């Protein structure tokens, strides 16, 4: 068996020890005589798996009292509709900060339900940064302010938490949740799909301040009504059971690594290796403003894009996959989530050096 270094943006690499544990438990989970996939979600075994996953997530993020943790389906794109449905609370507009492709998707979807005001945008500079807070034109009457804490395609990340002067702050953390500690108390709602730092696709996480719930639009589907799901421990209907089990294994792995403080240190070390090389290189470059560079998704360009295909072929031959940038921006992108070992980044940097020596 050969495992590759998988730089995919998501679904993404998972810790090898987690995959091994899942394999060991595949046919018989803890003497139950069945796979987690085969268990009733209402049975004692699965309820314990679900409860442990939630409690580990609360512990890792130090989720304060007064917040609900929901394990849902529908993906982050689904949340772009469900969050307005749940959080408009009689208001008519939402403020958005536009930092790139995923912000744009959130804005587009919200427009079906409310007025979406773009209060700051990095469009003018090609989405290479987070607009400075003092340029945001916030509306005190907005239902909430929406940000994307890490633009998976553009590689732009917030390294600070915006102060929104009392207006609830909502963050799409799909691609950086659990990569570092977060002060959950500063947010009204945090959401993300699981398929980057958390587990397999199919699970969507919502962490929401309880006092905002209970005023969903009447058209809100019951399974996406956060209050109904919160009242039913996210089990109004059948939850994505296997994905929740896998997420629980990943949460345990993160805890064993030293929690989110250790994750951040590891992620900073990996990202620095790559960015330091890109900044010193005359052949490769990073398009993102230094202060706002993502620790998770590192887009980079070759000086001569006619060599892109050769670059990718050579990477593949060396066991490094999924380095092609998103089709909307081109170039390359290395996604280096929690589960990417430092050896993967070292191998990538060694290959970048070799390629530059040959073509630079
Ligand atoms: N937001 C961000 C920041 C993402 O990276 C993604 C997926 N790559 C999405 C939203 C959409 O997530 P999903 O495919 O789970 O709907």
Q: What are the pLDDT digits (tens) for 301-332? A: 999 999 999 999 999 999 999 999 998 889 99
Ligand 1: centre distance to CA 9 (Å) = 10
Give domain status of residue 12, yes or no: no
For ligand 1, atom 15, which residue shows the shortest CA distance?
A: 75
Residues 272, 242 share a domain: no
CB atoms within 10 A of CB 35: 15
Residues 299, 201 share a domain: no
pLDDT at 231: 98
**Among 200, 234, 256, residue at a domain's last position:** 256
For ligand 1, atom 3, which residue shows the shortest CA distance?
A: 174
- Residue of 102, 128, 225, 292 with catalytic role: 102
Opening angle at CA 75, ends 198 and 150, nearest 5: 60
Asked if residues 208 and 228 have their Cβ atoms less than 8 Å apart, the reply is: no
Residues 74, 87 share a domain: yes
For ligand 1, atom 2, which residue shows the shortest CA distance?
A: 174
Peptide bond into 11 cis (omega under 30): yes
| Nearest to 287, CA basis, from 155, 165, 186 | 155
What average pLDDT does the segment 46-66 reach? 98
Residues 89, 152 share a domain: yes
CA distance 279 to 271: 12
Residue indicated by tokens 């500690």: 181
> Phi and psi (nearest 5°) for 278?
-60, -40
CA distance 326 to 50: 34
Per the structure, the count of domains in the chain is 2
Residue 5 clears pLDDT 90, i.e. is over it: yes
Q: Could you tell me which residues come within 8 angstroms of residue 153 by beta carbon, excluding any fewer than 6 positions away?
A: 9, 100, 101, 102, 297, 299, 326, 328, 329, 333
Q: Write down the ipTM of this complex.
A: 0.99
Q: What are the pLDDT digits (tens) for 246-256? A: 999 999 999 99
| Backbone CA torsion sign across 179, 180, 185, 187 | negative
Ligand 1: centre distance to CA 257 (Å) = 26
Residues 264, 146 share a domain: no
Binding-site entries for pyridoxal 5'-phosphate: 102, 152, 172, 195, 237-238
Opening angle at CA 142, ends 139 and 147, nearest 5: 90
Our separate counts of H helices and E strands in the chain read 9, 14
- From residue 213, give the alpha-carbon distance in Å to each of 106, 230, 335: 20, 9, 35
CA-77 nearest atom, ligand 1: 16
Q: What are the pLDDT digits (tens) for 20-49? A: 999 999 999 999 999 999 999 999 999 999
CA distance 117 to 141: 12
Find residue 214's DSSP bridge partners.
none
Residue 29 known to be catalytic: no
Binding-site entries for L-glutamate: 42
Structural domain range at position 116: 17-256
Ligand 1: centre distance to CA 77 (Å) = 6
Ligand 1: centre distance to CA 280 (Å) = 32
Residue 1 clears pLDDT 80, i.e. is over it: no
């Amino acid at each position: 068996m050969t495992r590759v270094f998988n730089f995919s943006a998501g679904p993404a690499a998972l810790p090898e020890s987690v995959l091994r544990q899942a394999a060991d438990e595949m046919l018989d989970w803890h003497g139950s005589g069945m796979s987690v996939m085969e268990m009733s979600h209402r049975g004692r075994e699965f309820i314990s798996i679900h409860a442990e996953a939630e409690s580990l997530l609360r512990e890792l993020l130090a989720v304060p009292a007064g917040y609900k943790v929901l394990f849902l389906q529908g993906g982050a794109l689904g949340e772009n509709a469900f969050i307005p449905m749940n959080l408009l609370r009689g208001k008519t507009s939402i403020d958005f900060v536009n930092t790139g492709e995923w912000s744009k998707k959130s804005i587009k979807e919200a427009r079906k339900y409310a007025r979406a005001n773009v209060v700051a945008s990095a469009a003018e500079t090609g989405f290479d940064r987070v607009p400075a807070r003092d340029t945001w034109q916030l509306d005190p009457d907005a239902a909430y302010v929406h940000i994307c804490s890490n633009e998976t395609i553009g590689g732009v990340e917030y390294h600070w938490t915006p102060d929104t002067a009392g207006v609830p702050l909502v963050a799409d953390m799909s691609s950086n949740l659990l990569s570092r500690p977060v002060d959950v108390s500063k947010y009204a709602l945090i959401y993300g799909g699981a398929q980057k730092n958390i587990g397999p696709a199919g699970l969507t996480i919502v962490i929401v301040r309880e006092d905002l719930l209970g005023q969903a639009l009447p058209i809100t589907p019951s399974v996406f009504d956060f209050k109904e799901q919160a009242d039913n421990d996210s089990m109004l209907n059948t939850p994505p059971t296997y994905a929740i089990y896998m997420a629980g294994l990943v949460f345990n792995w993160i805890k064993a690594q030293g929690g989110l403080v250790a994750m951040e240190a590891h992620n900073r070390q990996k990202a620095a290796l790559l960015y330091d090389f890109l900044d010193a290189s005359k052949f490769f470059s990073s398009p993102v403003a230094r202060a706002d560079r993502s620790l998770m998704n590192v887009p980079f360009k070759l000086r001569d894009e006619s060599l892109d295909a050769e670059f990718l072929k050579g990477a593949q031959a060396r066991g490094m996959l999924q380095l092609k940038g998103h089709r909307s921006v081109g170039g390359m992108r290395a996604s280096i989530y929690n589960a990417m070992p430092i050896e993967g980044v070292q191998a990538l940097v060694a290959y970048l050096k070799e390629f530059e020596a040959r073509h630079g």
